[in-house]
A = this chain, B = another copy of it.
Amino acid sequence: MKDRYGAEYLQARIGKEFPLAASMGIVVVAATDELLVLSAPLGANANSHGTAFGGSLFSLAALAGWAWLSRYAVSNGLDAEAVIQDGHIDYLLPVHGEFRAMLASPPAAEIEHFRKMLRRAARGRIRLHADLHDGPNLAARFDGVFAAAIRSRSG
């Protein structure tokens, strides 16, 4: 069965809700319960050295976090606002082509803790990690704390 809240759903939301995503050429490659993958081309995101701008790498990872949280909420029948509270990135290698942010779902215990906070207090937060890859190479590591606040219960 096709996932109702998969890549197409998130691509449409990102396109509608983040005008900069179109300028960056962001594509939702995969969106499952296990993994969220976004990609962006080098061209629009290049810096003065012909490699990827550090701000674009951070932005792709931050959007992956937003997408994970938004997908988690809607998949669980929650109408939640997701925002980033802090973010950290370590740049390891210059990026010479299309790059990807790969965000694996956090451990089940952390998701469960987040779910309980959402249910009890209508808000919760969770730390998400994303790796940024240039082909097979790990180019940067991102982590950030994302918060969700429930607007209403649906579904």
Binding site for B on A (CB under 8 A): 13, 16-20, 23-24, 43-49, 53-56, 58-60, 62-63, 66, 81, 83-91, 94
Contact = CB atoms under 8 A, between A and B. Distances in A.
B86 A87 contact: no
Nearest to A44: B19
A117 to B, nearest CB: 19
Nearest to A142: B87
A87 B58 contact: yes
Number of copies of this chain that the complex holds: 2
Contact of A58 (B16, B45, B62, B83): B62
B20 A56 contact: yes
A90 B86 contact: yes
Contacts of A91: 83-86
A23 B44 contact: yes
A33 B47 CA distance: 24
- A46, A47, A49, A90: residue with the most chain B Cβ atoms closer than 10 Å: A47
B18 A20 contact: no
